[in-house]
Structure 1
Amino acid sequence: MKQSNLLLMSAAMMLASCGGTKDAGQNGALIGRSDMKIEGKRMTPEALWAMGRIGNVAVSPDEKQIAYSVAYYSVPENRSNNELFVMNADGSNNRQITGSNWQESQPAWIKDGKKIAFLCNESGSSQLWEMNPDGTERKQLTRYDGDIEGFSFSPDGKKLLFIAQVKTVQSTADKHPDLPKATGIIVNDLMYKHWDEWVTTAPHPFVADFDGSGISNVRDILEGLPYESPMKPWGGIEQLAWSPASDKVAFTCRMKTGLAYAISTDSDIYEYDVEKGGFINLCKQNAKASDGKDEMAGYDTNPQYSPDGKYIAWQSMERDGYEADLNRLCVMDRATGEKRFVSRGFESNVDAFLWNKDSQSIFFLGVWHGRTHIYNTGLEDDGRIYQLTNGMYDYASLALCGNSLVAKRHSMSAGDEIFSVNQLDSKPFPICMFGANEYSRCSSNEPTREIYPVTQLTFENKQIYDQLEMGKVEGRWMKTTDGKQMLTWVIYPPHFDPNKKYP
């Protein structure tokens, strides 16, 4: 893909994360894909707002279809709209299966792929619905008293794990019933605000029985506790996970309040017993290094069980209070409690990960030299990491689909589209890119081609990109004042002339 303005594309990614609530009447024209015409072939704020933003991606159980969401924005109406799409695994037969001004998001395949579950606010709050893969036979599954913010069905399909807010702070109206319209915030402790959000509630994970048409026996995993799971301000359903046997739920939680909560990054992974109730802390078991130091005193987040149920993995930071610490990939043997950091050979963050089907290796996303790519590592703690993709763009999110990986990808000139990294079983993984004493050899001889065949599956904003001319982007290494090498990006304007001076 061509390259463009970094600042504008950073804004695009920021806008992609913005939601948009709608009024109960759903007034206004349907907001969908834009057919705007661009003059001068230049990127403008209007062109940026007109782009669709691809959100959640879900592969069907038979790995033949992919469902995904797209958010559209209207500047005149000052609101957004989420729609759902389904396509074949090769990108063919792409069709939109919703078409309303309700917010439909977070598609997930259920009932052996016969239905798609999703969140929708059609009933007046965010509830769980289902429909056929062609969009017909919509049916509301939950009528929970409050918004459902994220969900995950158990592997056996008999239980539902979902996220909802629980009130934790007394408001002025609570304290003074004679002033029901009072909007003041009572602050008597930290942490009272996250960025632009007053902390009056905490997200809690709930488990419920599911009979195919509704839920019952709803239980709050953190009932009566002031803690949050997932963690504010950005945590979602990725911070919770079902065990393959559907008998346990792993969840991320920082069990601190007040000042300790405000200054600490020491979250842990807990395991909840669905049948018996109660939970245990997995991080603090055998977490000491040989020198007695706690190796898991920082953020521990995003647990995932291996498909065979023998292991559980999560992202782990070592130091408390240091938000920018190295994010490592920790794997715990569930039978012995033994923990290993299998990403030691990768001197950068593990940003997201996914178990391979054989439970013997893990795919993960990591940044190296300013690019986020897909890597693979085995469970052996030998420091060997294998690179699967390459190029001047970043991958995001991972899902297995047959012998391929489905992932979103964006660059400095294009927002997220869905791609497939193919033929993973056609040959061994490429030679080790990272490992003991191999950085100088690998970093100075990076290939410029893709390592595995990659296919673009969606073209959400093609009609806009076709009207734009993008400038070239190139990496440039510069020597710093202390003799180090620093990577910078040079973004040229369209039709750059090296003989001219530019402002």
Structure 2
Amino acid sequence: MKQVNLLLMSAAMTLAACGGTKDAGQAGAPLIERSDIKIEGKRMTPEALWAMGRIGGVAVSPDEKQIAYTVAYYSVPENKSNREVFVMNTDGTENKQITRTPWQENEVTWIKGGTKLAFLSNESGSSQLWEMNPDGSGRKQLTQYDGDLEGYSFSPDGKKLLFIAQVQTKQSTAEKYPDLPKATGIIVTDLMYKHWDEWVTGAPHPFVADFDGNGISNIKDILEGEPYESPMRPWGGIEQLAWSPAGDKVAYTCRKKTGLAYAISTNSDIYIYDLATQKTENITEENKGYDTNPQYSPDGKYIAWQSMERDGYEADLNRLFIMNLETGEKRFVSKAFESNVDGFLWNKDSKSIYFIGVWHGETQIYNIDLAANDKVTQLTDGMYDYASLALAGDKIIAARHSMSMGDEIYAVAATRSGDAFAEVKQLTFENKQIYDQLEMGKVEARWMKTTDGKQMLTWVIYPPQFDPNKKYPTLLFCEGGPQSPVSQFWSYRWNFQIMAANDYIIVAPNRRGLPGFGVEWNEAISGDYGGQCMKDYFTAIDEMAKEPFVDNDRLGCVGASFGGFSVYWLAGHHDKRFKAFIAHDGIFNMEMQYLETEEKWFANWDMGGAYWEKQNPVAQRTFANSPHQFVDKWDTPILCIHGEKDYRILANQAMAAFDAAVMRGIPAELLIYPDENHWVLKPQNGILWQRTYFEWLDKWLK
């Protein structure tokens, strides 16, 4: 009954948000109250997770008195989502939902001096730019572009529009053979024919157009005739483009390579396009790694961007650079912070920069004082991850989440007072009615001594109402990336609180090869997938197994991506520690992965080279440690999960692992999604994932 009730609740809530009520589309139309959501048993369920609203982008009004933001709602029965727009004062008061439509409203911004809100909507059948009043009335379509707008930014004076749209860069089969219009074959002549979850036929380009307040004209493709991407797939958006304060130039991120050259290189650059002369300048040509996400200083004297030093290493230290636009001098300003700059924002006075970065398993807000030898000051503290930054008066508006709560919006004082960290105030309470009905498990930080004498931070998450006198089944969580931090992240699939709610203890180590513990720690995994990082996993689970409340006869091991590789590898090396494994989108056969994956730079760097390089000791060590080489030692039940639209790690990896287990006589199960990529994004598939996950664990560990 509990699942049915929550499914119906999720449907009703989303139906109202999507315009399912009689007054849909009118500002002020009734929406089902969040207090109507009832959860039995105070334990997190998959349905409760999918009932939660998910906060998106935030925009501060020009007068800094209001904040607009979006929230996505999901319907499990309808198997779809919808995104709506909210507006509140910058102190969190007068929070109102201003859209209730069956369409997606995305990327909301303030325009026309704050009198209007611009947003992307698919109301007309494609993603176009619209505007409305701050109360949701007066909706008006501003663009009628032949194609979807994927992102946009108005010039500072509001007279021009910069937007992203796809252009065709590859000839289709039907164009080559017009007499075969129904042929489905794809003719491939070079690499990068697939990327992430799509067959590549085009590229996103930045366009500039005149804007008269009602529509656009004189559209110009900045990369006209060039087959390159800007922004770059698969993650890049409007943050990879930037207007100069004078509105006469556009800075953009681009890797001007195609085919094999693209597939083996991360060497992107920051280009500056002059609207008057239509000339382009590369300002980072000397740097051979990633250069991304340019931002001009408010006074127009500097430009800042994120930069990695080495070509082919996508997990290199992500540094913050600035350039004096008059002298051309460049400076590495985040040198005092030995971790990645994950996002940044200029202060209004152009004398300092705020940024977010992970250190010791937490992502905090920092400030770099450019006038004080680039001094770095930490503004926030606590077991949280901050994300996204905007300024409103003397406050920073940021999203924040933890292992116990999804994103909400907070106001953070822009400066510290003495030794105290900045004052923080929560502004939104999107899912309060759900959280108030749930009992969350305790999250604890433990430092453990590794086999090589280092100290490793491990997060331990306990079940609600944890009783130290009982014995609990315990799960080792293996992180993906492989160089993604085990910080205070919140996931709607790999959610530690739902695992804890099912009476499992979770052990989540920041093993070797993760950022936030210095460059040496982060880089220790490259070319050594079967080395110290695996010893670190054993350290974490063996240390916890000493606790009297951990049942050593009921240990499980789970993970996705590199975490899935870890599961497959540990299955052949665990010496009977574990009683159940779950691998999602993992690498099973590294020789095949080297050839199958699309971004060859990743495989080249992480694996140390190609498997046919017989004189390359790093590469030979890598491929000798491929999990498929140790199937003869598999002895433990395993569940393999994969999406067939995952072109980073192909689904045949999971199929091969499953087949190998069955042929060895080992209990195994395979969950394949024909329509999912490296993640599971559809609501019903998400519910299926959780049910299958816990059914498997419960079968072998309870």
Q: Fold match, TM over 0.5?
A: yes
Q: Indicate the residue corresponding to 1:56 in structure 2.
A: 57
Residues 345, 382 of structure 1: 8 Å contact kept: no
* Range with greater deviation from structure 2 (196-205 or 239-248): 196-205
The gaps in structure 2 that reach 5 residues or longer are: 1-14, 25-30, 474-702
Matched, 1:480 2:450: yes
Distance 2:422 2:319 in 1: 25
**Map 1:209-248 → 2, pairs under 5 A:** 209-248=210-249
Residues 19, 101 of structure 2: 8 Å contact kept: no
The gaps in structure 1 that reach 5 residues or longer are: 1-21, 288-295, 431-449
- After TM superposition, give the deviation of residue 37 of structure 1 in Å: 1.5
Letter in 2 for 1:185: I
Structure with the largest fraction of strand = 1
Q: Indicate the residue corresponding to 1:399 in structure 2.
A: 390
| Corresponding residue SS for 1:260 | helix
- Higher RCO (CA-CA < 8 Å; seq separation 6+): 1
Residues 415, 422 of structure 2: 8 Å contact kept: no
| Corresponding residue SS for 1:98 | coil
Distance 2:353 2:228 in 1: 30
* Range with greater deviation from structure 2 (180-189 or 125-134): 180-189
- After TM superposition, give the deviation of residue 185 of structure 1 in Å: 2.1
| Corresponding residue SS for 1:217 | strand
Matched, 1:459 2:429: yes
Residues 340, 381 of structure 1: 8 Å contact kept: no
Matched, 1:468 2:468: no
- After TM superposition, give the deviation of residue 179 of structure 1 in Å: 2.6
**Map 1:3-402 → 2, pairs under 5 A:** 35-284=36-285, 287=286, 296-380=287-371, 382=373, 384-402=375-393
Q: Deviations over 1:113-154 (max 9, x none)?
A: 000000001111000000100011111000000000100000
Q: Deviations over 1:234-270 (max 9, x none)?
A: 1000000000000000000000111110010000000
Distance 1:27 1:106 in 2: 20
Q: Are residues 211 and 77 of structure 1, via their aligned partners in 2, closer, same or farther at CA, if it must alter by over 3 Å?
A: same
Letter in 2 for 1:460: E
Q: Indicate the residue corresponding to 1:17 in structure 2.
A: none
Distance 2:294 2:228 in 1: 18
| Corresponding residue SS for 2:375 | coil
Distance 2:170 2:37 in 1: 46
Letter in 1 for 2:462: Y
Distance 1:33 1:378 in 2: 45
TM-score by length of 2: 0.62
Q: Are residues 82 and 27 of structure 1, via their aligned partners in 2, closer, same or farther at CA, if it must alter by over 3 Å?
A: closer
TM-score by length of 1: 0.87
Matched, 1:414 2:396: no
- After TM superposition, give the deviation of residue 425 of structure 1 in Å: 5.4
* Range with greater deviation from structure 2 (224-233 or 168-177): 168-177
* Range with greater deviation from structure 2 (26-35 or 113-122): 26-35
Distance 1:501 1:215 in 2: 66
| Corresponding residue SS for 1:234 | coil
Letter in 2 for 1:211: D
Q: Deviations over 1:35-79 (max 9, x none)?
A: 432111111110111111101100000000000001111110011
Residues 163, 206 of structure 2: 8 Å contact kept: yes
| Corresponding residue SS for 2:445 | strand
| Corresponding residue SS for 1:174 | helix
Distance 1:472 1:74 in 2: 30
- After TM superposition, give the deviation of residue 188 of structure 1 in Å: 1.2
- After TM superposition, give the deviation of residue 33 of structure 1 in Å: 7.4
Distance 2:340 2:371 in 1: 19
Q: Are residues 426 and 369 of structure 1, via their aligned partners in 2, closer, same or farther at CA, if it must alter by over 3 Å?
A: closer
Structure with the largest fraction of helix = 2
Q: Deviations over 1:377-404 (max 9, x none)?
A: 0225835210000000100000000000
Residues 416, 422 of structure 2: 8 Å contact kept: no
Distance 2:32 2:203 in 1: 33
Distance 2:318 2:106 in 1: 29
- After TM superposition, give the deviation of residue 499 of structure 1 in Å: 1.5
| Corresponding residue SS for 1:259 | helix
| Corresponding residue SS for 2:472 | coil
Distance 1:281 1:275 in 2: 17
Q: Indicate the residue corresponding to 2:470 in structure 1.
A: 500
- After TM superposition, give the deviation of residue 375 of structure 1 in Å: 0.2
- After TM superposition, give the deviation of residue 187 of structure 1 in Å: 1.4
Distance 1:27 1:164 in 2: 28
